[in-house]
């Protein structure tokens, strides 16, 4: 276990209450505990995929130690996990059936018609989560305005439901056309099925997320139904374990929007947590930047793990959310922290194409056998981690994590084998592969910024994950970023982000009308209903948490008639209540002008959706670190490393021996248990009092 001590050990008492963040990954489960005055403990335990809650419980035991839960007045805990995502990717969820409007049995088969990679004859749509044999059509139809065209045929509905239950469905998803405008048929259908099959879980698309686009909405409802049993199992096993440890607080889950929510309410729609791990990481990056005094910062986040480099964007202190993300090739309409990934991480394979050109990824050696240096396979497939060892960024003397010893010899052998084929020495391959990985990440970063449409005068970077601190500064150079922050615990930032997350909820009401013909009374009732939902939800969520403030903000998605896309316009509640059309229109024209450089004041304007975002802010214990006891850092060791194609002499420090406020000049290497930070020449590293390392480009 690692413990970072806070500077101030004054009131509030460290034992008053604590926040635990859990990140259940495929191989390891990270846990972070922040006590009442900001001291942080961190553990890493092997995951137990068969029963994922077990590794969480083991980690909690290690965190709170023999003194047990009694030492804290309360323990809050937030869980981010890949359960939902893996269930979806591996197609290991529940057998579910689906009821759709007559004429649309192929909704889940056809999807949006296109295929992922049209130039490849091997490309196919992702396999449907609900097979066609478990989909039935139902006689019913709503018009586009939500009025009834064909009434729901109750007996035919029951027949269809009975058929798919007989065929083995353990749950039913209902997605009727235009249910986002009026849930009347979906709700009635659920009632009817409930009477006949009282124990059968039934999900209706209008409740999950009432937005137009039948495939996307139906997909969300389907994912919920499909992954729910796995999530429920986690919650059940966790609850039993916590009870026996006298931890009585309700578990919360991290959401893909970077916030937290009670797992009990998340169980209704587990699809909101599909992307919770990466989202918590980006939220964690925002929080460590805040610790370092970077309020409202514009940041790029670079998380380099075993198989990929994930890039996120934080604008004015807040992670950028998107409603157009794809997860496992499926569209996700929920607002999600936008992260782009490229297949280059520590385990990415270095190989050569038939022309002798060296490539990195996207295939990975995986945790087993791992890179050649682990010595677990005679195949000697070189990975990026081997390259780090060969160029001297990593040292074979140090253990990786607790147990593994790396073999430089094996890395060199693997690199030479490849090198012989393309006529480059082993060191050249290693250095070249690292430069290729940097170029790949820089390209993805550039593409991400333009894709997100972010235009800030200056970006800084937060680099984390196993290899983020190694390559952060080098990637930053390629994308013209001059400042890089390395968090105190770069390997556990998702757990940290979960522990420190605020409460974030998103709500949506369909309007889908031209501004001039919207009935103000109807609009007012939609506004009432969405604010009531947001308020009620927030009220439940803050229960028992040290909340310092709450806020609900509103926005309208608007567009010119016939336009192919919406513009989100933030509007305060009072303005919405007054519903002065000229004010709303002016706000839209201004927003359109600002984003696209023109406004068509004579054109008709539609309001597509009314959105609300509810936030509960948690008390922030500003994490602080007092650094090493020693007045002087131990005299650094030194070793020769290859940097940008040349051999240079780098000083080597231990992170635990660095004093707050000390400045190190590159080229230098800072080693700590779970990661290594590289300070290239031309860069200066400052040990910030928050415990972070801040790298600046000199000059």
Partner 1 sequence: MNDKTNAISVEIFSNLFRAIVDEMAWRVRRAAHTTFIRETQDFGTALITPEGEQFAVPNNTGGISLIGIPIKPLIDAITDWRPGDVAVTNDPYSSDGMVMHLNDIFMLRPIFVDGKIICFAWAFLHCSDVGGSVPGSIDSENKEILQEGLRLPPLKLYSSGTVNESVKAILQANCRGPDLMWGDLAAVVASLHMAETRVLRLVERYGAGAIKSAMYSVLDRSEKLARLALSTVPSGKYRFTEYLEDDFSTDTPVRFCLTLSVAPDGHCTLDYTGSDPEVASAVNLPTGGQRHHPMLSVALMNYAITKSADIDVNAGIIRCIELVLPEQSVVNAAYPAACGARVISVMRLHDLTLGALSAVIPGNVPAAGGSQLAITSLSFHAADGARRVVSANAVVGGSGAGCGLDGVSGTDFPAAALKNVPVEVLETEAPVRVHRFGLRADSEGPGKLRGGFGIEYVFEILQDGVTVVSRGKDRHKFAAWGVAGGGAASCAYAYVAARDGRRKSTGKKALWFADQGDIITVAGGGGGGVGLPHEREPGQVSSDVLDGLISVGRARDVYGVVFSPDGSLDVTETELSRKYMSGTRSSDQFDWGAGRDEWERRWADAYDAVHLRAIKLPQRSRRDFQVRAFLALRQQHPEGLSRAAAERYLDELQR
Q: Tell me which residues in 419-458 interact with partner 1 (CB under 8 A).
A: 422-424, 428-429, 432-433, 435-436, 439-440, 442-444, 446-447, 449-451, 453
Site for partner 1 in 472-491 (CB under 8 A): 478
CB neighbour list of residue 464: distance below 8 Å, 6 or more residues apart: 281, 284, 285, 301, 302, 303, 486, 487, 490, 491, 493
526 in contact with partner 1 (CB under 8 A): no
Find the farthest-apart pair of alpha carbons in the chain and give their distance in angstroms, rounded. Answer: 83
Cα–Cα distance between 19 and 12 in angstroms, integer?
Answer: 14
Phi first, then psi: give them for residue 447, nearest 5 degrees: -60, -40
Which residue's CB is nearer to partner 1, number 106 or number 409? 106
From candidates 129, 173, 337, 360, binder to partner 1 by CB under 8 A: 360
Q: Which is nearer to partner 1, 436 or 668 (CB)?
A: 436
Q: Which of 9, 149, 324, 329 binds partner 1 (CB under 8 A)?
A: 149
Among 8, 112, 581, 663, binds partner 1 (CB under 8 A): 112
- Pick one of 50, 66, 118, 198: the residue that binds partner 1 (CB under 8 A): 118
Q: How far is CA 151 from the centre of its chain?
A: 42
Q: Decide: 540 and 210 in contact? Cβ < 8 Å.
A: no
Q: Which two tokens stand for residue 329?
A: 């090739």
Q: By C-alpha distance, which of 38, 17, 116, 40 is closest to 492?
A: 40
* Long-range pairs for 131-134: beta carbons < 8 A, 24 or more residues apart: 132/105, 132/106, 132/108, 133/167, 134/95, 134/96, 134/97, 134/98, 134/164, 134/167, 134/168, 134/169
Is the separation of the CB atoms in 457 and 442 below 8 Å? no
Q: Judged by CB under 8 A, does residue 582 bind partner 1? A: no
Is residue 187 involved in binding partner 1 (CB under 8 A)?
A: no
| By the rule CB under 8 A, 177 interacts with partner 1 | yes
Tokens (6 digits) for 564: 């192919």
* Minimal distance, residue 211 CB to partner 1, in Å: 9
Q: Does residue 377 belong to the site contacting partner 1 (CB under 8 A)?
A: no
Q: Show the binding pattern over residues 91-110: x = contacts partner 1 (CB under 8 A), - = does not.
A: ------------xxxx--xx
| HSE-CB for 131 with a 13 A CA cutoff | 9
Distance (Å, whole) CA 349 – CA 386: 10
Report the distance separating Cα 306 and Cα 147, nearest Å: 52
Structure tokens at 151: 């009434």
Q: Contact with partner 1 (CB under 8 A): which of 28, 72, 180, 234? A: 180
Q: Which is nearer to partner 1, 321 or 628 (CB)?
A: 321
Helix (H, G, I), strand (E, B) or coil at 264: helix
Q: Which residues contact 261 (CB under 8 A, 6 or more apart)?
A: 252, 253, 255, 272, 503, 505, 541
Instruction: Assess 123 for contact with partner 1 (CB under 8 A).
Output: yes
Side by side, the strands of the sheet bearing 637-643 are 637-643, 646-654, 668-671, 676-679
Give, as ranges, the residues between 250 and 309 that touch partner 1 (CB under 8 A).
none
Closest CA to 37 of 68, 78, 75, 7: 7
**Choice between 10 and 119, CB closer to partner 1:** 119
Nearer to partner 1, 177 or 571 (CB): 177
Q: How far is the CB of 168 from partner 1 (least distance, A)?
A: 11
Pairwise CA distance, residues 407 & 412, whole Å: 9
Does residue 409 bind partner 1 (CB under 8 A)? Answer: no
Q: Contact between 168 and partner 1 (CB under 8 A)?
A: no
User: Of the two residues 231 and 436, which places its CB atom closer to partner 1 in the complex?
Assistant: 436
- Can residue 115 be called a binding residue for partner 1 (CB under 8 A)? yes
Rounded Cα distance between 438 and 477, Å, is 10
The packing angle between helices 214-244 and 83-90, to 10°, is 130
Assess 120 for contact with partner 1 (CB under 8 A). yes
Among positions 144, 405, 594, 630, the unique one binding partner 1 when judged by CB under 8 A: 144
**Least distance to partner 1 from the beta carbon of 337, Å?**
19
Residue 265 or 526 having the CB closest to partner 1: 526
Instruction: Find the shortest distance in angstroms from Cβ 410 to partner 1.
Output: 22
CB atoms near residue 356 (< 10 Å): 10
- Residue 233 binds partner 1, judged by CB under 8 A: no
Residue 446 tokens read as 């550039």
As a whole number of angstroms, the distance between CA 263 and CA 258 comes to 15
* Tokens encoding 558: 């608007």
Least distance in angstroms from the C-beta of 601 to partner 1: 12
Task: Out of 11, 122, 295, 629, name the contact with partner 1 by CB under 8 A.
Answer: 122
655 binds partner 1 (CB under 8 A): no
Q: Does 565 contact partner 1 by CB under 8 A? A: yes
By CB under 8 A, what part of segment 496-515 binds partner 1?
512
**By C-beta, is 290 or 349 nearer to partner 1?**
349
* Residues in 595-624 that interact with partner 1 by CB under 8 A: 596-598, 600, 604
Nearer of residues 9 and 514 to partner 1, judged by Cβ: 514
Separation of alpha carbons 628 and 624, rounded Å? 13
Is residue 143 a contact residue for partner 1 (CB under 8 A)? yes
How many residues make contact with partner 1 (CB under 8 A)? 75
Q: Of 172, 238, 358, 462, which lies in the binding site for partner 1, with binding defined by CB under 8 A?
A: 358
Supply the minimum distance, in Å, between the C-beta of residue 341 and partner 1: 12
Question: Given the complex with partner 1, which of 27 and 143 has the nearer CB atom?
Answer: 143
Site for partner 1, residues 192 to 231, rule: CB under 8 A? 212-216
* Torsion of the alpha carbons at 190, 193, 194 and 200, rounded to the nearest 10: -100
- Identify which of residues 1 and 110 has a Cβ nearer to partner 1 in the complex: 110
Work out how close the CB of 561 gets to partner 1 at its nearest, in angstroms, rounded to a whole number. Answer: 8
If one asks whether residue 699 binds partner 1 (CB under 8 A), the answer comes out as no
Residues whose CB falls within 8 Å of the CB of residue 691, separated by 6 or more in sequence, listed in order: 4, 291, 487, 488, 623, 624, 625, 627
* Residue 114 contacts partner 1 per CB under 8 A: yes
Q: Which two tokens stand for residue 31?
A: 């846990």
Q: Which residues between 632 and 651 bind partner 1 (CB under 8 A)?
A: 645
Q: What is the CA radius of gyration of the chain?
A: 27
């Amino acid at each position: 276990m690692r413990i970072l001590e806070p500077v101030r050990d004054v009131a509030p008492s460290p034992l008053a209450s604590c926040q635990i963040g859990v990140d259940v990954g495929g191989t390891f489960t990270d846990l972070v505990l922040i006590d009442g005055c900001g001291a942080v403990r961190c553990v890493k335990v092997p995951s137990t995929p068969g029963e994922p809650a077990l590794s969480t419980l083991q980690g909690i035991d290690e965190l709170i130690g023999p003194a047990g839960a009694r030492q804290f007045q309360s323990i809050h805990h937030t869980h981010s996990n890949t359960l939902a995502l893996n269930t979806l990717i591996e197609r290991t969820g529940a057998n579910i059936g689906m009821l759709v409007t007559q004429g649309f049995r192929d909704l889940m088969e056809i999807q949006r018609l296109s295929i992922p990679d049209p130039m490849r004859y091997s490309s196919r749509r992702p396999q449907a989560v609900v097979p066609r044999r478990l989909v039935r059509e139902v006689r019913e139809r709503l018009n586009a305005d939500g009025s009834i065209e064909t009434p729901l045929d109750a007996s035919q509905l029951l027949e269809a439901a009975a058929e798919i239950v007989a065929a083995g469905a353990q749950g039913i998803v209902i997605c009727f056309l235009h249910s986002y405008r009026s849930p009347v048929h979906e709700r009635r259908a659920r009632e009817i099925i409930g009477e006949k099959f009282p124990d059968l879980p039934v999900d209706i698309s209008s409740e999950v997320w009432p937005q137009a686009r039948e495939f996307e909405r139906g997909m969300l409802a389907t994912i919920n139904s499909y992954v729910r049993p796995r999530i429920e199992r986690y919650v059940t096993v966790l609850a039993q374990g916590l009870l026996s440890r006298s931890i009585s607080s309700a578990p919360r889950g991290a959401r893909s929007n970077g916030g937290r929510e009670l797992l009990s309410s998340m169980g209704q729609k587990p699809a909101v947590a599909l992307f919770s791990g990466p989202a918590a990481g980006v939220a964690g990056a925002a929080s460590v930047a805040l610790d370092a005094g970077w309020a409202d910062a514009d940041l790029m986040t670079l998380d380099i793990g075993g198989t990929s480099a994930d890039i996120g964007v934080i604008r004015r202190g807040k992670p950028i959310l998107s409603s157009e993300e794809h997860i496992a090739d499926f569209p996700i309409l929920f607002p999600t922290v936008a992260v782009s990934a490229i297949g280059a991480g520590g385990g990415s394979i270095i190989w050569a194409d038939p022309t002798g050109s060296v490539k990195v990824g996207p295939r990975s050696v995986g945790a087993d056998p791992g890179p050649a240096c682990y010595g677990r396979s005679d195949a000697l497939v070189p990975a990026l981690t081997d390259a780090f060892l060969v160029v001297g960024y990593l040292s074979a003397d140090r253990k990786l994590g607790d147990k593994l010893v790396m073999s430089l010899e094996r890395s060199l052998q693997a690199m030479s084998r490849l090198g012989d084929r393309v006529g480059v020495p082993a060191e050249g391959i290693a250095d070249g592969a690292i430069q290729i990985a940097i170029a790949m990440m820089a390209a993805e970063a550039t593409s991400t910024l333009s894709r997100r449409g972010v235009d800030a005068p200056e970006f800084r970077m937060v680099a984390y994950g196993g290899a983020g601190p190694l390559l952060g500064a080098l990637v930053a150079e390629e994308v013209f970023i001059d400042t890089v922050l390395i968090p105190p615990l770069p390997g556990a930032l998702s757990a940290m982000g979960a522990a420190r997350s605020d409460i974030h909820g998103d709500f949506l009401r369909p309007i889908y009308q031209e501004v001039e013909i919207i009935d103000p009374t109807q609009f007012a009732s939609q506004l009432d209903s969405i604010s009531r939902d947001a308020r009620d939800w927030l009220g439940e969520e803050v229960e028992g948490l040290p909340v310092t403030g709450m806020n609900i903000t509103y926005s309208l998605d608007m567009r010119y008639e016939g336009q192919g896309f919406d513009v989100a316009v933030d509007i305060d509640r009072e303005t919405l209540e007054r519903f002065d059309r000229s004010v709303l229109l002016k706000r839209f024209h201004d927003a359109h002008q600002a984003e696209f450089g023109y406004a068509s004041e004579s054109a008709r304007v539609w309001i597509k959706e009314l959105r609300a975002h509810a936030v509960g802010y948690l008390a922030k214990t500003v994490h602080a670190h007092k650094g090493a006891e020693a007045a002087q850092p131990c005299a650094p060791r030194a070793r020769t490393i290859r940097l940008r194609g040349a051999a240079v002499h780098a000083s080597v420090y231990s992170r635990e021996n660095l004093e707050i406020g000390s400045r190190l000049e590159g080229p230098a290497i800072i080693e700590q248990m779970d990661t290594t930070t590289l300070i290239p020449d031309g860069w200066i590293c400052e040990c910030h009092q928050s415990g972070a390392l801040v790298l600046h480009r000199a000059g």
